[in-house]
Amino acid sequence: MIVFITGATAGFGAAMARTFATNGHRVLIAGRRADRLDAIAAELGANVRTVPLDVTDKAAIHAALDALPADWRDIDVLINNAGLALGIKPAQEASLDDWDTMIATNCSGLVTMTRAVLPRMVERNTGLVINLGSVAGAYPYPGGNVYGATKAFVDQFTLNLRADLVGTGVRATNLAPGLCGGTEFSNVRFKGDDAAAAKVYEGTTPLTAEDIAATAYWIATLPPHVNVNSIELMPTCQGFSPFAIKRA
Ligand code: NDP
Ligand code: 8X3
């Protein structure tokens, strides 16, 4: 298989690149930090090709796909993994710039990538799009505001892809993890406050990037007649809270 992974410079994306490449698949790894891409490609060998790319840049996406050599163009699996949360403040205090960045990356970037890759999949009557959603797209929490909304978008967009793709051999999955440690997610969310980021996982046994990579690999290697519409994972230590009720 040829697998295109966005956000492969860290976290889930880097773990997925390792999982697919070490299992003999060819992997296109994308992200903004070219030095990281180069290091991962050097580690994994000739089956991995770097695609330095900012998913918020439509022209860059199209240029990068157009520049792929002929023997890398038939992408079998697109993993729209690039994404981020910025901030945890309540809506009335949150930064509008942060909101714009999350929407541009998690929603617009993901749909641009999908729209660019999908026609060739449909033409070949085979393919799989795995979109990284989140439990934040299904369950609200204080400060989740726009991040959670972008992941709800990912969930519904994926289901609507399924609606459009019925009758083709192209599959689509929303992969929605809960608390997952060992990635840069919280460092990014807390804007470099690594102590605050570490606190998120204190006293927990969170999911790992390898858990998510193994799940993506399982989805991608199911027989072609099986479509996982949506899959939600949480670490065993994570559960649900009661509704918040402000009493007089
Ligand atoms: P990381 O911060 O470790 O990795 C995020 C990746 O996204 C990086 O490789 C980063 O690369 C890339 N990225 C961010 N913005 C852009 C951009 N504009 N263009 C291209 N690449 C970009 O996070 P995780 O691995 O933890 O998260 C991966 C995905 O999973 C995200 O969509 C996240 O929302 C989701 N998720 C994470 C959970 C968690 O608890 N960790 C749980 C549920 C979902 P670079 O900076 O080099 O561009
Ligand atoms: C990441 C999981 O709970 O931090 O999507 O929003 S959470």
Domains of the chain in start order, with CATH, are 2-233 (3.40.50.720)
Q: Which residue spans within the chain are E strands per DSSP? A: 2-5, 26-31, 48-52, 77-80, 127-132, 170-177, 230-233
Predicted confidence band at 10 (pLDDT cuts at 50, 70, 90)?
very high
Average model confidence (pLDDT) for the chain? 98
Question: Is 179 within 8 Å of 238 (Cβ atoms)?
Answer: yes
Say yes or no: ipTM exceeds 0.95: yes
How far is the C-alpha of 150 from the C-alpha of 153, rounded, in Å? 5
Helix, strand, coil tally for the chain in percent (to 5): 45, 15, 40
Query: What pLDDT, on the 0 to 100 scale, is given for residue 79?
Result: 99
- Residue with CA at minimum distance from ligand 1 atom 31: 83
Q: For residue 214, what pLDDT is reported?
A: 99
Residue 129, pLDDT score: 99
Q: Give the residue-averaged pLDDT of 125-153.
A: 98
**Ligand 2 centroid from CA 214, angstroms:** 19
Query: Residue 4's pLDDT is what?
Result: 99
Residues forming a β-bridge with 51: 30
CB atoms within 10 A of CB 119: 9
Active centre residues (catalytic): 147
